[in-house]
Chains A and B, each alone.
Chain A
């Protein structure tokens, strides 16, 4: 089966940088995704890493190390609107259109304070 570990809560100051870590155990690993969800809202896609290294999209960056089964989401220049839950999700499975799945972690609740 699959398992993911991420911190349950993180608090950071507006304008600062915060890193949310995710470790996973899975078979048939394809890649690691990150989703953001505001309270009462829909999860929205942030990033996807299939290969080792850092992917940058504006203030958000995501990193993956396949050998360490580890990734993180980096949020820079934090804004109050970044207060939300952040989920890492492992895409796993085997070749073939019908045999992959996306498994979500339990989420990290980020609180940005003034």
Chain B
């Protein structure tokens, strides 16, 4: 069974540029999460989807961050414009149901903003 797929694995951009990350969850997993992980810290939830619906986006900085999951499968997270402080690893995770205790994480996208 394929795991959570993310691309790109690494991205380097100049500040004020836009950037997008893509995630394909495990087949059949209805719940999808985007996390941000700073160096030496734990993952912090940005947004959670149940199928196509964003059910928790309270931690998403909506002035520059946006996300979509149009067909309830893969998802895209966008930052526009990027700031120096956005340098971090962006993790995508999925789970079978919202009530399950196990989230399966992708390898993440390491973003560097110069």
What is the interface of chain A, defined by CB distance below 8 A to chain B?
Answer: 31, 33, 41-45, 48, 50, 87, 89, 91, 97-98, 100-107
Instruction: Provide the bound-state CA to CA distance between A44 and B43, in Å.
Output: 12
Residue in A43, A50, A98, A101 whose CB lies within 8 Å of B45: A101
Question: At the interface with chain A, which of B61-69, B76-84, B96-104?
Answer: B96-104
Nearest-CB residue, chain B, relative to A8: B40
Whether B42 contacts A102 by the Cβ 8 Å rule is no
How many chain B residues touch A (Cβ–Cβ < 8 Å)?
A: 25
Q: Is chain A's interface secondary structure helix, strand, loop, or mixed overall?
A: strand
Instruction: Provide the bound-state CA to CA distance between A46 and B53, in Å.
Output: 28
Whether A42 contacts B40 by the Cβ 8 Å rule is no
List the count of A-B residue pairs having beta carbons below 8 Å apart.
52
| Given A31-B101, A97-B50, A101-B56; A107-B40 close (CB under 8 Å) | yes
Q: What would be 21 A-B contacts, judged by CB atoms less than 8 Å apart?
A: A31-B101, A42-B3, A42-B105, A42-B106, A48-B102, A87-B42, A87-B43, A97-B97, A97-B99, A98-B50, A98-B55, A98-B56, A100-B98, A101-B45, A101-B48, A101-B56, A102-B103, A104-B43, A106-B40, A106-B42, A107-B41
Chain B contacts with A in 85-114, Cβ cutoff 8 A:
91, 93, 97-99, 101-108
Nearest-CB residue, chain A, relative to B53: A98
Hey, which chain B residues are within 8 Å of A89, CB to CB?
42
| Given A89-B42, A104-B44; A42-B91 close (CB under 8 Å) | yes
Hey, which chain B residues are within 8 Å of A91, CB to CB?
101
